[in-house]
Amino acid sequence: MKLTEKQIDSVRKQLSVEPVEGDHPVQQELETAFGEHTFYADPNGLHIIEKAEPAGAGPDQGVFGIIMQIAIWEGEAQESLQSIDPQQIGDIFPLELED
């Protein structure tokens, strides 16, 4: 899922994480390997946010997401990524906070 600027800001406020910049040299390689997403990298690996629906939530309650880890770092230098079966990290959270 490619996030909007508003959604990226919401993720930043809630989780204190920054996405891989869209103009970063590695962005094209990531999109070739994993598809078009907003990517987040941390010491554990590479993550994306997928759309999710909390139990009992209706369409009028907004858009929600879940963090999915899609790759882990290889080697001590953590210079390359190894894709993995997507794993859910954390709980479902709102992607669009009210101002």
What pLDDT is recorded for position 97? 66
Give the total residue count for the chain: 99
**Residue 95 CB partners (closer than 8 Å, separation 6+):** 3, 7, 10, 11, 49, 51, 62, 63, 64, 65
Q: What is the pLDDT of residues 52-99, one digit of tens each?
A: 988 877 767 788 999 999 999 998 888 899 999 999 999 999 998 665
Q: What is the pLDDT of residues 7-63, one digit of tens each?
A: 999 999 999 999 999 889 999 999 999 999 999 999 999 999 999 988 877 767 788
**Residue 18 CB partners (closer than 8 Å, separation 6+):** 12, 40
